[in-house]
Amino acid sequence: MNTAKLLSVWTVPAFLVLVLVAGKARRVPVFDEFTAGAGDGLRTCVKVLPALVALMTAVSMLRASGLMEMLSSAVEPVSRFLGFPSEVVPLALLRPVSGSGSLAMLENIYASFGADSLIGRIASVLQSSTETTFYTIAVYYGSIGVKKTRHTLISSSCGDLTGIILSALTVRLLLY
Amino acid sequence: MLNWIWAVIMLLAIISGAVNGRLEQVTNAFLGGGGQAITLALTLGGAMCVWGGIMRIADKGGLTVFFARTMTPLMRLLFPGLEPTGAACRAILMNMAANFLGLGNAATPLGIKAMNELSRANPDPDTASGHMITFVVLNTASIQLLPTTVATLRLQYGVSEPFNILPAVWLTSIGSAVVAVALSRLLNISPKKSGRHIVKVSI
């Protein structure tokens, strides 16, 4: 725990020192380069904004529609077969589409079942080892105007599914 | 394809909103979604500027080339045919490092930079290249050393050792990343003609 905490506190400052010292050693005009890079960042941000608006609107509509709740009761038999607790199914469904939504749901699970219970642990592992898949795909491809994503979605969805199955499996095998 | 996914998500939302009697909430979500995205973009925009600036200094100072040189075997394995110390690989590595260290706000701008670099070598700007797919899939699989957000939340909920899930997290994220990347490479082997066929199957 202490090593982990130390690492998370020191990562960014240590990196900044490294970058600045190396930059000065190589006589890089650090301020000029920083502002040039920041300008690039701003332009990219403007470029991804339309894709972000399109996706976030669709996803928040989906969340408001109650489809997630319908789906999670539909997949319950499958999840039971895989040894995946049905209480975590809504989180597994929400995780690929919404980062803030899934975090709120994780908190909900902690409050109802305890953060260090079996359910709480599986939910924690799931949240930590998967990403907001759809958001990532939309933003990355949206930023360069790629429309045909070919086998991106099928590959990443299989990865997500593996993550869901493994989260329950590894918690049961390694922590009990 | 995004054009299809987007339309299907919207239509599904409206249909299930009607079925569940939640059409009003769906409409409100439609009206508010844009504002949410702008807010996120403003937050993200600050991080993009700061990290974009710092990474440019790191690039000019030779740090990223040095890092790329040490990681050459890994890049040869994941992105065969890509120059291991080229601009695209350097951006990819910085994105992977940021993800690994749990710096999500830094990872996104670096990832977009990597996509821009990969886009330069892409003959068809409309269609994702094999390297792009592997890179995006690597990002959706999320390999993280320390899940700090989850750990902080667990600490708040009274867990004395919030990092006790670490071995399970590592194994799970490595497993899902291996599956996703392997699949992305496997489906990429098929020649262009059948590549078009795969598009239809995947969506």
pLDDT in single tens digits along all 176 residues of chain A? 567 778 778 888 999 999 999 999 999 999 999 999 999 888 888 888 888 888 889 988 998 999 988 888 899 888 888 889 999 999 999 999 888 889 999 999 999 999 999 999 999 999 999 999 988 998 899 889 898 999 999 999 999 999 999 999 999 999 88
- Helices B2-19 and A133-144: crossing angle, nearest 10°? 140
Residue linked to tokens 């749901």: A105
Whether B2 is covered by a domain: the verdict is no
CB contact under 8 A, B40 and A133: no
Whether B1 is covered by a domain: the verdict is no
| B22 token code pair | 């939640």
Closest Cα in chain A to B32: A57
Whether B76 is covered by a domain: the verdict is yes
Whether B18 is covered by a domain: the verdict is no
Q: B25-54: per-residue pLDDT in tens?
A: 999 999 998 888 888 788 778 888 898 899
Answer whether B100 touches A (CB < 8 Å): no
Residue linked to tokens 């869901």: A164
Residue span of the structural domain in which B118 resides: 23-202
CB A58 within 8 A of CB B12: no
Q: B130-149: per-residue pLDDT in tens?
A: 999 999 999 999 888 888 88
CA max distance for chain A: 63
H helices of chain B, in order, are 2-19, 23-60, 63-70, 72-78, 87-100, 104-120, 130-141, 148-156, 166-188, 192-202
d(CA A148, CA B179): 22
Q: Measured in whole angstroms, how far is the alpha carbon of residue B116 from the centre of its chain?
A: 14
Whether B12 is covered by a domain: the verdict is no
Answer whether A82 touches B (CB < 8 Å): no
Whether B85 is covered by a domain: the verdict is yes
Answer whether B63 touches A (CB < 8 Å): yes
Whether B10 is covered by a domain: the verdict is no
CB contact under 8 A, B54 and A19: yes
d(CA B178, CA B196): 24
Number of structural domains (chain B) is 1
Predicted complex ipTM: 0.89
Whether B6 is covered by a domain: the verdict is no
d(CA A118, CA A20): 45
Residue type, B80: P
